C-alpha cells in the first residue's frame, strides 16, 4: 500500500544520563546500531507506544544523514538489505533518499546505486518521487534522478503498468518518466514509456502493436458489463494482466466463487495468503482450496515469496477454517528456516507488558508481543534445552509440549493468559528465572521500569551471552551493547542467525 504516492486530501552520551521511557537507567547506542534497530522496526509515519510518528521519523532521517556520510560503505550494504533482507519498503525508500541527499551535500559518491537498490517493485519509483517532491521540492540531485531511472528500466513493463499506474496516484508512471528520463533497454520498452506518457497526459494515440497485454486488457474493457461475468478462463484473464484487485471492479459485481477460481491460478503467494478468509466466504471448491493450500505449504514457494513470518500468524488469526491451519503451520516453519538450532540451556524471556501491545501497523492486526511470541517460541522449538518465560509485572514459565508447532504454541500462549499487559519488570524476571543457563534471549521493546539495578542483566554472569531482540527501536536500550551483551531487531528471522556466529567468535555483528 502506498504511503507517499497518494493525492492529498536527553543528549545521551553516558549511562548516567540516559533513561528508558519508564524511568529505568538506560544505555545509548552508537549511531549505526541505533539506525539499524530503528529502521528494522520503523513503520514510517506511524506512532509507537512511547514515540510519536513525527519525532520517530525525524530521528530516522537524522540518523540516516549522519551514517550515510560517516560510514558510506556500511550504509551501501545496509539499505539494499533493509529492502530485500528485512523486506521493509517505506523505511528503505526513505533511507535511500535521505542518505543520497546527505551524501550529495557532503560530496560522497555512490548514492545512485543505493537509490536503485531500494526500489524493488514497480510502484516504488513513484513512491520515491512522491516522497522527494513532498519533502524537498522539484530539484532532483543527479544521483537520485539516475537511481530512480535505473529502477524504472528494471521494473516498468506492461503488467506493472496495468497494476500500479493508478489514477489516484499523485505521481504516475508518466510523471516518473518525465522527471527522470530513463533510457529504455529496447524499442518495445520505449513504446511502453511513450504509452505511459500518453496515458498520463490523456493523449488519444493508438496502442502500439508491440504491447499485446495492454491490447488484451483493452479488449476485455470493451466487453459489455453483462458479458463480463462469463469470462472465467484463467488464461484469458492472465493474458490481459488482470489482477484480483482489478477483477471485481471490471466485473462490477462481488467476487463469487467462480470469480475467485478464475483468478486464483495467477495470484501471487502473498495475495493468496491475504485472501484466505475471502475464499471461504465465497465458497471456493475443495479442489481449488487444496491447490492453494499446497502452494502455501511448499517450501520453495515460501522461500521465493520472502513473506515475513508474522504474515502467517496474521492469516492464521484471520481464518477460522481448519483447512488452512496445517498449511499455514507448515509455511511458518519454512519461513523460520534461519532460526538456529541452539545447544546447551537457553532462557527466553518474552515481554508481554502493556507497551508491547503497540501495533506494528495501523490495521492493528499484529502487535509487538505477537512478534515477540512467534520468534521466542520458534527459537524454543529449535533449542535443545529451552526455558520460555512471559514477563510483565509478574512472570511465569510457559511449559513446552513435545512436537507442538509454533502457531499452535502461539495460540496456547494467548489462550493460557500469558499476555499480561502490565509494567516491564525485566530485571526482576531475569533474577527470578536465570538459573545457570548458557545464554539469555530477551524479546522486548527495552523500556524497562526502574527496579533498583543499573543493568537489567546484572544477575547474569559476564561470561554468559545475553541477546536482546528489540521490537520497537527506541533510542535508549536496557543494557550496554558491549562484551557479551548484544542487541538485534526486526520482523524477519535473519538476526537470529547471528547468535551461533557470535558464539564461535565472529565480530561482524550485522546480518548483511
Note the pLDDT of residue 326. 93
CATH at 487:
3.40.50.410
- Can you read off the three cell numbers belonging to residue 141? 540531485
Residues 346 and 405 in one domain: yes
Note the pLDDT of residue 434. 96
Residue 26 within any structural domain of the chain: no
Note the pLDDT of residue 447. 77
Q: Among 334, 367, 388, give the residue marking a domain's end.
A: 334
Residues 381 and 439 in one domain: yes
Query: Do residues 23 and 454 touch, judged by C-beta distance below 8 A?
Result: no
Residue 436 within any structural domain of the chain: yes
pLDDT along the chain (512 residues), means of 10: 45 46 60 82 48 78 97 97 87 96 98 98 97 95 98 98 93 97 98 97 94 97 95 96 94 94 96 96 96 97 87 88 92 86 94 82 73 90 94 95 91 94 90 95 80 72 89 67 76 71 66 80
Query: Do residues 379 and 348 touch, judged by C-beta distance below 8 A?
Result: yes
Name the 3-class secondary structure at 445: coil
Q: Can you point out the beta strands (E) in 29-177?
A: none
How many CB atoms sit inside 10 A of residue 204's CB? 5
Residues 262 and 289 in one domain: yes
Name the 3-class secondary structure at 331: helix
Helix (H) / strand (E) containing 480: none
Q: What is the model's pTM?
A: 0.80
CA atoms within 13 A on the CB side of 436: 0
Q: Which domain holds residue 414?
A: 339-506
Residue 147 within any structural domain of the chain: no
Cα–Cα distance between 456 and 478 in angstroms, integer?
6
Cell numbers 512471559: residue? 390
Rg (CA), the chain: 25
| Cα separation values, 328 from 52, 166, 493, 494, Å | 34, 32, 17, 20
Provide the number of structural domains found in the chain: 2
Q: What is the 3-state secondary structure (H, E, C) of 370-422?
A: HHHHHHHHHHHHHCCEEEEEEECCCEEEECCCCCCCHHHHHHHHHHCCCCCCC
Alpha helices in 137-181 (DSSP H): 142-155, 158-164, 173-180
Query: Do residues 124 and 156 touch, judged by C-beta distance below 8 A?
Result: no
Phi-psi group of 306: left, alpha or beta (phi > 0 → left; psi -120 to 50 → alpha; rest → beta): left
Residue 127 within any structural domain of the chain: no
Cα–Cα distance between 440 and 366 in angstroms, integer?
25
Note the pLDDT of residue 298. 97
Note the pLDDT of residue 438. 95
Residues 386 and 485 in one domain: yes
Query: Do residues 492 and 462 touch, judged by C-beta distance below 8 A?
Result: no
The 395-398 sheet, strands edge to edge: 395-398, 385-391, 345-351, 439-444, 466-470, 485-489
The backbone torsions φ and ψ at residue 58, rounded to the nearest 5 degrees and listed phi first, read -65, -40
Residues 290 and 311 in one domain: yes
Largest CA distance in the chain: 76
Helix (H) / strand (E) containing 314: helix 309-318
Note the pLDDT of residue 358. 78
Note the pLDDT of residue 495. 64
β-bridge pairing 385-391 and 395-398: antiparallel
Residue 43 within any structural domain of the chain: no
Residues 291 and 387 in one domain: no
Cell numbers 545457570: residue? 436
Residue 370 within any structural domain of the chain: yes
Phi-psi group of 147: left, alpha or beta (phi > 0 → left; psi -120 to 50 → alpha; rest → beta): alpha
Name residue 99's beta-bridge partners: none
Residues 268 and 301 in one domain: yes
Query: Do residues 211 and 191 touch, judged by C-beta distance below 8 A?
Result: yes
Residues 344 and 388 in one domain: yes
Q: Among 334, 353, 380, give the residue marking a domain's end.
A: 334
Residues 361 and 448 in one domain: yes
Note the pLDDT of residue 27. 60
Residue 165 within any structural domain of the chain: no
Residues 266 and 396 in one domain: no
Q: Among 334, 353, 371, give the residue marking a domain's end.
A: 334
Query: Do residues 126 and 173 touch, judged by C-beta distance below 8 A?
Result: yes
Residues 297 and 378 in one domain: no
Cα–Cα distance between 262 and 259 in angstroms, integer?
5
Residues 414 and 345 in one domain: yes
CA dihedral 258, 260, 266, 269 (to 10 degrees): -150
Residue 132 within any structural domain of the chain: no
Name residue 388's beta-bridge partners: 348, 398
Cα–Cα distance between 223 and 229 in angstroms, integer?
10
Note the pLDDT of residue 483. 77
- Can you read off the three cell numbers belonging to residue 212? 499485446
Amino acid at each position: 500500500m502506498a504511503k507517499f504516492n497518494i493525492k492529498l486530501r536527553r543528549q545521551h552520551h553516558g549511562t548516567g544520563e540516559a533513561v528508558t521511557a519508564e524511568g529505568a537507567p538506560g544505555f545509548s547506542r552508537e549511531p549505526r546500531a541505533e539506525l539499524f534497530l530503528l529502521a528494522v522496526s520503523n513503520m514510517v509515519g506511524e506512532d509507537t507506544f512511547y514515540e510519536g510518528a513525527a519525532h520517530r521519523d525525524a530521528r530516522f532521517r537524522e540518523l540516516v544523514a549522519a551514517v550515510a556520510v560517516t560510514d558510506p560503505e556500511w550504509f551501501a550494504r545496509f539499505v539494499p538489505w533493509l529492502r530485500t533482507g528485512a523486506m521493509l519498503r517505506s523505511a528503505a525508500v526513505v533511507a535511500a533518499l535521505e542518505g543520497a541527499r546527505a551524501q550529495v551535500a557532503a560530496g560522497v559518491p555512490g548514492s545512485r546505486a543505493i537509490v536503485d537498490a531500494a526500489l524493488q517493485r514497480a510502484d516504488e519509483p513513484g513512491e520515491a518521487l512522491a516522497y522527494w517532491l513532498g519533502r524537498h521540492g522539484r530539484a532532483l540531485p543527479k544521483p537520485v534522478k539516475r537511481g530512480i531511472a535505473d529502477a524504472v528500466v528494471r521494473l516498468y513493463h506492461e503488467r506493472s503498468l496495468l497494476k500500479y499506474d493508478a489514477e489516484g496516484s499523485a505521481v504516475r508512471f508518466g510523471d516518473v518518466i518525465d522527471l527522470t528520463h530513463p533510457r529504455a533497454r529496447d524499442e518495445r520498452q520505449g513504446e511502453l514509456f511513450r504509452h505511459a506518457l500518453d496515458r498520463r497526459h490523456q493523449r488519444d494515440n493508438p496502442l502500439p502493436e508491440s504491447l499485446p497485454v495492454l491490447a488484451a486488457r483493452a479488449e476485455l474493457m470493451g466487453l459489455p458489463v453483462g458479458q463480463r461475468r462469463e469470462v472465467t478462463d484463467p488464461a484469458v484473464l492472465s493474458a490481459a494482466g488482470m489482477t484480483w484487485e482489478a477483477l471485481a471492479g471490471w466485473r462490477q459485481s462481488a467476487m463469487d466463487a467462480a470469480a475467485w477460481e478464475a483468478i486464483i491460478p495467477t495470484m501471487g503467494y502473498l495475495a493468496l495468503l491475504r485472501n484466505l478468509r475471502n475464499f471461504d466466504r465465497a465458497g471456493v471448491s475443495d479442489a481449488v482450496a487444496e491447490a492453494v493450500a499446497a502452494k502455501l505449504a511448499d517450501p520453495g514457494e515460501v522461500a521465493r515469496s520472502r513473506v515475513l513470518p508474522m504474515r502467517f500468524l496474521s492469516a492464521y488469526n484471520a481464518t477460522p477454517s481448519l483447512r488452512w491451519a496445517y498449511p499455514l503451520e507448515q509455511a511458518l516453519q519454512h519461513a523460520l528456516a534461519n532460526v538456529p538450532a541452539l545447544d546447551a540451556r537457553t532462557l527466553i524471556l518474552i515481554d508481554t507488558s502493556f507497551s508491547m501491545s503497540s501495533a506494528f501497523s495501523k490495521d492493528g492486526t499484529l502487535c509487538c508481543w505477537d512478534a515477540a511470541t512467534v520468534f521466542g517460541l520458534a527459537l524454543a522449538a529449535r533449542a535443545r534445552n529451552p526455558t520460555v518465560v512471559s514477563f510483565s509485572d509478574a512472570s511465569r514459565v510457559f511449559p513446552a509440549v513435545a512436537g507442538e508447532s509454533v502457531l499452535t504454541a502461539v495460540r496456547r500462549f494467548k489462550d493460557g493468559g500469558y499476555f499480561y499487559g502490565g509494567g516491564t519488570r525485566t530485571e526482576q524476571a531475569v533474577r527470578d528465572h536465570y538459573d545457570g543457563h548458557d545464554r539469555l534471549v530477551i524479546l522486548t521493546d527495552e523500556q524497562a521500569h526502574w527496579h533498583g539495578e543499573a543493568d537489567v542483566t546484572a544477575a547474569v554472569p559476564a561470561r554468559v551471552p545475553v541477546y536482546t531482540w528489540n521490537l520497537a527501536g527506541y533510542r535508549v536500550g536496557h543494557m550496554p551493547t558491549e562484551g557479551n551483551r548484544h542487541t538485534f531487531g526486526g520482523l524477519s528471522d535473519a538476526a537470529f542467525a547471528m547468535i551461533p556466529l557470535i558464539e564461535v567468535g565472529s565480530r561482524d555483528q550485522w546480518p548483511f
